[in-house]
Each structure stands twice: as structure tokens, then as C-alpha cells.
């Protein structure tokens, strides 16, 4: 394998880790609640902008933002769940999509009022590079990948190895049976939405040192997250992780070979192919949350 191909492969995997974190939270919410959260991207964007304000403005250590911002996103997600989402759980999907789109629009405008319409970033944070497998990788991307994948796998283990995680999976797979078994469905939904929102907020923190952040950042990454969960399988958490890695690699290789714009479009071509050939996604038929 020559060095350019290895560099592209590493770059695609690193990008896929971030996609996995954001798409995992979105897919977790859908898998448990059957709600399409169109405001998920704004939790990422505001998380990134708050990180810039805390680190560059308030001179707070970056590691502190890694803890504070996801906690704030979880709290905001819990409020959104209690005020809006819980009234739409059993409604048609279009209702949750329209409601969360309205919330998304409000959040974008609030972000513009607070931070303006320009770009913000943290170029001095985690500067430098590390040599991995003969490839120079920026520290910011490596840390983002490690935290994103570690968190994604941690949530997966949580879902399978803890009592609360098993309750979440029970509600996702058979809510009526979960109620009969004595599981508080409302509590599970609150935890799920808060956890998914925290994952989006954390993704924003991890993107702040690498990507230019603005109020529209969430919409750009949300579309890619939808592509990830459609390819992996709606409601399939491991499917989201696998599809994120695949699409991250395809985007980087495509961007190198045929240009960045067409490379990004490859994600949606793959998504279209999956919808036509296997509508449930690559993992949708085998496993759920």
C-alpha cells in the first residue's frame, strides 16, 4: 500500500469516527422513540460554538469543555424531550420531523443572534501532529477520533451490559412488553434523548478545533448523519458505527480522486443505492439498538 492511499484511509477512518458519534446519538433516539430529531444538528453546532466561547473567550481548558458542553447538551435535550418530543412519540413521523425542524430553525437563529453569522474556530488547540503507521496525523483529529469512537463503543457497551441499557433496548424492541415488565417507558425515553443530545454536543466539542464553526454547521453534518443511519439501518446502533466508517472512507477517497464536492455527493449515492436495494439498511434486519 503506498503512502497516499494509507493517508486517505487513515483520514477516512478519523472522519468516520466523528460521523459515528453524531449518527449514533441520532439513531439511538430514533431506535427507542421512533422520532426523527431534525434539531440534532443544532446541538452539535451550538456545542462547537459554546466550546469556542469557553476556550477562546473564557480561557477555560479544552478538557473542561469536553465535560461541560455534553452535560449542557444533555440537559437541553431533556428539556426538549419533556416540553415537545414526549407529546409526539406516538404521532406520525412527519409530526416529529416538522416539530423538530421548527426547533432547529429557532436554535439556528438564536445562535446567529449570540455568535453572529461568521465562522469561529480553535486553530491553536491540540496543534501539531503525531506519526501513526507511517502517516502524520494532526493531534486534533486523533484526539477527536479516540474520544468519539471510545464514547460510541462505551454507549454500545452501556446498552448491552447495564440494567438501564437493557431497559432502553427493551423499549426500543417491544415497548408494550416493556411496560408489562414494569419498565418506566417515560424515564427510558428521557434518558435516551438526553444521552443522544449529549453525544451531539460532544461531537461539536470535538469538531471545534478542526472545523470552522458557525450556526449552520449542524445542518451540514446532520444530512451526513442521516445518510449514515440509512446505510447502517434505521435504529441499528452498531450499523451506524460501521456505516460511518465506510462513508467516511468513501468521502475522503472520493474527494481525493474526483473532487471534494463530488466526493461528498458519493455518500448520498451510496444512500440511494441502499434505499433501492436494501431499504432496511445493511444492518437493519439483524439488530436493533
Structural domains in the chain plus CATH codes: 3-277 (1.10.3470)
Please report which confidence band the pLDDT of residue 1 belongs to, taking 50, 70 and 90 as the band edges: very low
Q: Are 137 and 130 in contact (CB under 8 A)?
A: yes
**Percent composition of the chain: helix, strand, coil (DSSP 3-state, to 5):** 75, 5, 20
Say which residue the cell 431534525 belongs to.
Answer: 38
Percent of the chain with pLDDT over 90: 44
DSSP 136: E
Can you tell me the mean pLDDT for 195-208? 95
- The helix (run of H) or strand (run of E) holding residue 275 is helix 260-277
C-alpha dihedral (91, 92, 93, 95), degrees to nearest 10: -70
Residue 7's Cβ-count burial label (10 Å; 0-12, 13-18, 19+) is: middle
Q: Are 195 and 155 in contact (CB under 8 A)?
A: yes
Please report which confidence band the pLDDT of residue 133 belongs to, taking 50, 70 and 90 as the band edges: low
Bridge partners of residue 213, in order along the sequence:
120
Which regions of 103-149 does DSSP assign to beta strands (E)? Answer: 129-132, 135-138
Residue 287 has pLDDT above 60, yes or no: no
pLDDT for 236 equals 76
Bridge partners of residue 138, in order along the sequence:
129
Can you tell me the mean pLDDT for 6-29? 89
| CA pair distance 28, 60, nearest whole angstrom | 31
Residue 107 has pLDDT above 90, yes or no: yes
pLDDT in tens, 146-186: 999 999 999 999 999 999 999 999 998 888 888 888 899 99
Kindly report the number of other CB atoms within 10 A of residue 46's CB atom. Answer: 27
pLDDT for 284 equals 62
Locate 206 and state its grid cell: 470535538
Tell me the three-class secondary structure of 148-199, residue by residue.
Answer: HHHHHHHHHHHHHHCHHHHHHHHHHHCHHHHHHCCCCHHHHHHHHHHHHHHH
Amino acid at each position: 500500500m503506498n503512502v497516499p492511499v494509507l493517508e486517505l484511509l487513515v483520514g477516512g477512518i478519523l472522519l468516520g469516527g466523528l460521523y459515528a458519534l453524531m449518527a449514533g446519538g441520532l439513531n439511538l433516539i430514533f431506535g427507542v422513540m421512533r422520532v426523527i430529531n431534525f434539531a440534532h444538528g443544532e446541538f452539535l453546532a451550538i456545542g462547537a460554538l459554546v466550546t469556542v466561547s469557553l476556550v477562546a473567550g473564557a480561557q477555560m481548558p479544552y478538557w473542561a469543555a469536553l465535560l461541560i458542553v455534553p452535560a449542557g447538551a444533555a440537559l437541553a435535550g431533556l428539556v426538549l424531550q419533556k416540553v415537545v418530543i414526549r407529546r409526539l412519540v406516538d404521532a406520525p413521523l412527519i409530526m416529529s420531523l416538522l416539530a423538530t425542524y421548527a426547533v432547529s430553525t429557532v436554535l439556528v437563529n438564536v445562535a446567529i443572534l449570540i455568535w453572529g453569522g461568521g465562522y469561529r474556530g480553535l486553530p491553536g488547540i491540540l496543534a501539531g501532529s503525531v506519526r501513526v503507521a507511517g502517516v502524520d496525523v494532526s493531534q486534533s483529529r486523533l484526539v477527536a477520533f479516540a474520544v468519539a469512537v471510545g464514547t460510541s463503543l462505551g454507549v454500545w457497551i452501556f446498552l448491552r451490559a447495564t440494567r438501564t441499557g437493557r431497559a432502553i433496548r427493551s423499549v426500543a424492541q417491544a415497548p408494550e412488553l416493556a411496560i408489562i415488565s414494569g419498565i418506566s417507558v417515560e424515564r427510558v425515553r428521557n434518558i435516551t434523548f438526553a444521552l443522544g443530545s449529549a453525544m451531539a454536543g460532544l461531537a461539536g466539542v470535538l469538531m471545534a478545533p478542526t472545523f470552522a464553526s458557525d450556526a449552520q454547521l449542524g445542518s451540514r453534518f446532520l444530512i451526513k448523519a442521516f445518510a449514515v443511519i440509512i446505510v447502517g439501518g434505521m435504529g441499528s446502533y452498531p450499523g451506524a458505527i460501521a456505516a460511518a466508517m465506510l462513508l467516511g472512507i468513501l468521502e475522503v477517497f472520493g474527494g481525493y480522486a474526483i473532487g471534494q464536492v463530488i466526493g461528498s455527493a458519493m455518500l448520498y449515492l451510496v444512500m440511494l443505492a441502499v434505499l433501492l436495494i436494501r431499504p432496511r439498511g445493511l444492518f437493519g434486519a439483524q439488530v436493533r439498538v
